[in-house]
Structure 1
Amino acid sequence: MPREQRREQVMTQARKVFMDRGYHSAGMDEIADAAGVTKPVLYQHFPSKLELYLALLDRGIEELLHSADTALASTTDNKERVGATMRAYFAFVADRNSAFRLVFESDVMNESAVRERVDRVHEAIASKIADVISADTGLRHEQAMLLGSGLQGLAQVAASRWLTSDQSETTLEESADLVASLAWRGIRSFPLTHPPGEPSQ
């Protein structure tokens, strides 16, 4: 098997192990067995468990940032933009192939490399949202960042809560739209200074 394909196989299985058992309970023996490789081969790709975890965390962060960028750029209608962003968060959490627990619920936050990455993705998404808010409302950067952080936190907590709830009661789409409705009621109270088009009602 080509090296890159083997590495991908290891990462896929390692993500499942970390998601199911957490960082501290997961062992390199277990990951090697799950990936169908020997420990020496595993260590050829990742010299330590932490380096493997960080590689998975980086990939999860990249996926989340891409989803956020796509949602924010999908429309110039701000109401639809809020809805798209919420649905992106819920979809990221619902996708069992994503690394959402590594990004949102890491049990290795005492590791500075993990903490820095998690803090950086929260800041990056809040900043992306803040840029849109600031451009549309004229709010100062720090004011817009407060709102961006609030919306990012709302999306994350609500999506994580939905995952542990009885999903037969409300679908992903219904839940995301419900939370988006709450967020939109707050955001729309700020007057637009640079309307992108006909404002949503």
Structure 2
Amino acid sequence: MTATPDARPRGTRLPRPARRRQLLGAAQEVFVAQGYHAAAMDEIAERAGVSKPVLYQHFPGKLELYLALLDEHAEALVKIVREALESTTDNKRRVQASMQAFYDFVAGDGEAYRLVFESDLRNVAPVRARVDRANHQCAEMIARVIAEDTQTPAEEAFLLGMGLVGMAEVSARYWLSQHGSIPKDTAEKLIARLAWRGISGFPVAG
């Protein structure tokens, strides 16, 4: 196989955690650029600068490698949304911080958001389960705040939380597709203002 221009030189021995990180980084580059189906383990190994047997020592197959990446980035999304919600007790600022978290995730280096939001494996059960779990965890955290502050029933609060997650995800992906025609901070504030105007209409619990 002809080496890709970005292939790493072979021969460097790394501790297992560092090697795993290297392999995941190479896999992300290939999956993001080509999608799951077009990506080849040969190319991922070449990009990482290792032999295929080394790659298979860490990941038994392409799906397992993809799922490891998906787990990592889905967990990262949940983490930054949690941090946004915990960053303040002011609900208007919570909305702003949560919207910023989604925009930060979508704008992050390496286009990792594509693995979570634009996967060509969304109909494959283990992929769908992971994406759904991340969305549900984000919605549950938002719903908990809504329910506590407005005494909205839990099921209704969860629906509102899922709506806010969808608003954040879809608007952030659209914003990115426009290649900066609207500054990121302006886009975040616009969507946060829209979300706040809706959610602030619910009466605060006494």
| TM-score of the two chains, using structure 1 as the length reference | 0.94
Distance 1:145 1:86 in 2: 17
1:61 aligns with 2:61: no
Q: Which has the higher contact order (CA 8 A, sep 6+)?
A: 1
1:128 aligns with 2:141: yes
1:181 aligns with 2:190: no
Query: CA shift at 1:97, angstroms?
Result: 3.5
User: Which of 52, 63, 67 does residue 50 from structure 1 map onto?
Assistant: 63
Unaligned runs of 5+ in 2: 1-13
> How is 1:82-121 mapped onto 2 (pairs within 5 angstroms)?
82-97=95-110, 99-121=112-134
* Shift >4 Å, 4+ stretches: none
User: Which of 35, 42, 59 does residue 29 from structure 1 map onto?
Assistant: 42
Unaligned runs of 5+ in 1: 195-201
Q: Which residue of 2 aligns with 1:6?
A: 19
Contact 1:60–1:98 (Cα < 8 Å) also in 2: no
Distance 1:185 1:77 in 2: 15
Distance 1:190 1:16 in 2: 44
Q: Which residue of 1 aligns with 2:158?
A: 145
| TM-score of the two chains, using structure 2 as the length reference | 0.91
Query: CA shift at 1:93, angstroms?
Result: 0.3
| Equivalent residue letter for 1:127 | E
Distance 1:113 1:163 in 2: 27
**Aligned residues: CA RMSD:** 1.0
Distance 2:126 2:115 in 1: 13
1:78 aligns with 2:94: no
Query: CA shift at 1:98, angstroms?
Result: 5.6
| Equivalent residue letter for 1:192 | V
Distance 1:127 1:71 in 2: 14
